[in-house]
Amino acid sequence: MKNIIIAPVVTEKSAVTANDGKTYVFKVDKAANKTQIKQAIESAFNVKVANVRTLNTKSKDKRVGRYTGTTKTYKKAIVVLKDGFAIEI
């Protein structure tokens, strides 16, 4: 199977979410389900996952001068770890 975890999402909102020390946000493959994401996080970072929430982001309209376009869509996973585990990003 191809790579499920693409990259961590580092934004102000994800930093506020991760303030508790157990919640992390990742950009993941669009075809991956919650079970596959959980297994990929556990094997890649050697941690135990308590909960996985997913959402598909919508594209936004962007404009540069007279040219218009849209941003790319992607799937985002919000991963909550069990107590005693942490990920260094």
How far, in Å, CA of 23 to CA of 89, rounded?
Answer: 12
Tell me the sheet residues that pair with 69: 62
Q: How many Cβ atoms sit within 10 Å of the Cβ of residue 9?
A: 21
What pLDDT is recorded for position 89? 75
- Average pLDDT score over the chain: 94
Query: Three-state SS for 62?
Result: strand
**What are the structural domains of the chain?**
5-81 (3.30.70.330)
pLDDT-based confidence at residue 47 (cuts at 50, 70, 90) = very high
